[in-house]
Amino acid sequence: MAMARPDRSLAFIALIFATTVAMGCLAPSGGIAPDTIWLNGTIVTMEGDQTAQAVAVLDDNIVAVGTDAEVGPLAGSQTRVVDLQGRTMTPGFYAAHDHFPGSGRVAVTQVDLNSPPIGAIENMDELVAALGDRARDLPEGQWISGRGYDDTLLAEQRHPTRADLDRASTTHPIYISHTSGHLGVANSLALELAGITRNTPNPEGGVVRKDPDTGEPDGVFEESGGMVSRLVPPPTPDQTMESYRVAVQDYVEDGVTTAVIAGGGRGTLAGLQRARDAGILTFRIITMMSRGSPGQPTAAETGGIISGFGDTHLKVGAIKIIQDGSNQGYTGYFTEPYHTPFKGDPDYRGYPRRSRDDLVTMVKELHEAGYQIAIHANGDAAIDDVLYAFREAQREFPRRDARHRIEHCQMVRRDQLDAIAELNLSPSFFVGHVYYWGDRHRDIFMGPDRAAGISALRSSIDRGIRFTVHDDTPVTPVNPLQLVWVGVNRLTKSNQVLGPDERITPLEALRTVTIDAAWQNFEEGIKGSIAPGKLADFVVLSDNPLTVDPTEIRDITVLETIVGGKTVYERPM
């Protein structure tokens, strides 16, 4: 990894180490003065449970942390001194698994089909109307794409079909994706353009749903929407830049200073690089690269780059593999059947994306080559596959501290957590599910017992597992403080506690979006806490998540977001 450190702050930090006093602060001395000093704050450092009053920054690095009396005298004549007036400052937040700039892309190029509390669509007529409105604005023949519908939140309690979408338009091809991203629906024109007919077989690891009476495709795709969505024209360069601009604002408004993109293709790095050159990427990005099937090179491999390549602003992360689907889409892969049988089949357990053998082949090859690997697995059967593959890879090519990840890891069993601890794996839990879908996991998909164990944060901490939590934006809106709130309270949308034994403390929850997220990305030496030598990424909050009433953590507002010592967002007064 190439990591540029400005010379001035390096010299300054060296000075600190020579004269260190309590909490990593330094005694006043001559030479270079800090660019900025924040004083009179409640600074939650995330170095253990320490708080400080003041922090000094030179270039984009922290050079001193301590009391006002310790740090204040470091100011030189050119130093900007900011009075925090007692407000709380924490390290900047990680968005540990997102699909940046997905939220911007939805806003700029797609029809938002989410239901409350995220969006406004409550029934099929409203969904059709939203798509129909877009059709009226577009010339015939142009594609319409939408995202975020949720069959279990629509009044009709079912997926839209081609017939529903044909009501919106028969002269525009339409493709919409489910909130999970694992299912999608096409209208008749889109099916025709994609050549999907009654004779189209199911692809490996996916289903092209057919009408049981007529045998014709009903428009719904499970884990195979790419058969149609590949035809949707990519956004124009202008639309892409606008998507980045809109998405960056979404993230910095919520205090995110590093977003991890959970998968990318050939153009991902190039697009990010262009956005960076245009000055749009005011925060930091780590992007995973996707791998679809065994033997297929990743975008990273075709460019000859590996996990860790890049700098502190834009870096390549893990290689992303998907092993199953979405539990609320009935494509998560389980050892026990779903609570409510799928299409009346009491034995239905979902399915994996590929065989265990194929997964092992992929994981071994990447592991040996030195990549960090992140595998999406929601159901416990998929997690069994993942654990088997990582164990085989480590057995054949022992590698210390690989920090391989399991993405979402929602229905992990307790015995699997033992294996995760033993193999030193790091889950990223989609804990927002407890709030958004928890009631339906309990009542529909998983049943009360299994649902109580979703996102097993306490059980993980008890085993010494380090993990992160995420919003999977644009699946749910980016909101790290809400994730902390869910981890602490585990309240569902109907205000019931789901799995009280898995609640964690506010400090533990804050670790999952700061220091532990830095660790998960091999960045604990430069990010995740407020300590001398680390990057000056901070948020200023309206209240302290560690001392406020725990049920009010998500009501805390981000007042200011600071990346590398520079303010990138300030809440309008």
Q: Considering only 187-195, 206-214, 454-462, 470-478, which stretch makes contact with Zn ion by CB under 5 A? A: 470-478
Cβ distance to Zn ion smaller for residue 100 or 519:
100
Q: Considering only 161-169, 255-263, 283-291, 461-469, which stretch makes contact with Zn ion by CB under 5 A? A: 255-263
Helix (H, G, I), strand (E, B) or coil at 177: strand
- Classify strands 538-541 and 88-91 as parallel, antiparallel or unpaired: antiparallel
Q: How far is the CB of 263 from Zn ion (least distance, A)?
A: 7
Of the candidates 191, 208, 262, 540, which one interacts with Zn ion according to CB under 5 A?
A: 262
Q: How far is the CB of 340 from Zn ion (least distance, A)?
A: 24
Cβ distance to Zn ion smaller for residue 90 or 307:
307
Neighbouring C-beta atoms of residue 238, cutoff 10 Å = 9
Cβ distance to Zn ion smaller for residue 39 or 262:
262
Q: How far is the CB of 258 from Zn ion (least distance, A)?
A: 16
Cβ distance to Zn ion smaller for residue 262 or 383:
262
The DSSP letter of residue 1 is: -
Strand partners, 95: 259
Q: Considering only 112-120, 257-265, 276-284, 563-571, which stretch makes contact with Zn ion by CB under 5 A? A: 257-265
CA dihedral of 374, 378, 380, 386, whole degrees rounded to 10 = -20
As a whole number of angstroms, the distance between CA 275 and CA 272 comes to: 5
Q: Considering only 109-117, 261-269, 313-321, 537-545, which stretch makes contact with Zn ion by CB under 5 A? A: 261-269
Contacts of 152 (CB under 8 A, 6+ apart): 328, 437, 440, 444
Cβ distance to Zn ion smaller for residue 12 or 93:
93
Q: How far is the CB of 517 from Zn ion (least distance, A)?
A: 15
Contact between residue 182 and residue 382 where contact means Cβ atoms under 8 Å apart: no
Q: How far is the CB of 271 from Zn ion (least distance, A)?
A: 18
Cβ distance to Zn ion smaller for residue 88 or 455:
455
Q: Considering only 262-270, 381-389, 410-418, 440-448, which stretch makes contact with Zn ion by CB under 5 A? A: 262-270
Binding residues for Zn ion, rule CB under 5 A, total 2
Interaction between residue 472 and Zn ion (CB under 5 A) = yes
Cβ distance to Zn ion smaller for residue 143 or 430:
430
As a whole number of angstroms, the distance between CA 511 and CA 527 comes to: 12
Q: How far is the CB of 472 from Zn ion (least distance, A)?
A: 4
Interaction between residue 55 and Zn ion (CB under 5 A) = no
Cβ distance to Zn ion smaller for residue 260 or 262:
262
As a whole number of angstroms, the distance between CA 389 and CA 377 comes to: 12
Q: Considering only 250-258, 346-354, 378-386, 472-480, which stretch makes contact with Zn ion by CB under 5 A? A: 472-480
139 burial class (0-12, 13-18, 19+ CB within 10 angstroms)? exposed
Cβ distance to Zn ion smaller for residue 134 or 470:
470
Cβ distance to Zn ion smaller for residue 95 or 393:
95
Q: How far is the CB of 181 from Zn ion (least distance, A)?
A: 7
Cβ distance to Zn ion smaller for residue 472 or 502:
472
- Size (the chain), residues: 573
Helix (H, G, I), strand (E, B) or coil at 362: helix
Report H helices in 169-304: 188-194, 226-229, 237-253, 268-277, 299-302
Site string for Zn ion, 430-469 (x = CB under 5 A): ----------------------------------------
Q: Considering only 136-144, 260-268, 548-556, 559-567, which stretch makes contact with Zn ion by CB under 5 A? A: 260-268
The DSSP letter of residue 341 is: P
Q: How far is the CB of 143 from Zn ion (least distance, A)?
A: 23
- Classify strands 144-149 and 174-178 as parallel, antiparallel or unpaired: parallel
Q: How far is the CB of 419 from Zn ion (least distance, A)?
A: 23
Q: How far is the CB of 129 from Zn ion (least distance, A)?
A: 29
- Classify strands 405-408 and 183-186 as parallel, antiparallel or unpaired: unpaired
Cβ distance to Zn ion smaller for residue 410 or 514:
410
As a whole number of angstroms, the distance between CA 498 and CA 483 comes to: 15
Q: How far is the CB of 323 from Zn ion (least distance, A)?
A: 13
Q: How far is the CB of 422 from Zn ion (least distance, A)?
A: 26
As a whole number of angstroms, the distance between CA 88 and CA 524 comes to: 22
Strand partners, 566: 563
Instruction: Of 561, 528, 486, give the one whose Cα is nearest residue 250.
Output: 561
Contacts of 317 (CB under 8 A, 6+ apart): 260, 261, 286, 287, 288, 289, 307, 372, 374, 521
Contact between residue 174 and residue 189 where contact means Cβ atoms under 8 Å apart: yes
Q: How far is the CB of 261 from Zn ion (least distance, A)?
A: 9
Site string for Zn ion, 107-126 (x = CB under 5 A): --------------------
113: its two tokens: 């089909």
Residues 293-352 that bind Zn ion (CB under 5 A): none
| Amino acid identity, position 278 | A
Q: Please give the radius of gyration of the chain, using alpha carbons only, rounded to the nearest integer.
A: 24
Neighbouring C-beta atoms of residue 174, cutoff 10 Å = 30
Cβ distance to Zn ion smaller for residue 430 or 538:
430
For the packed helices 102-109 and 237-253, what is the interaxial angle rounded to 10 degrees? 130
What are the residues binding Zn ion (CB under 5 A)? 262, 472
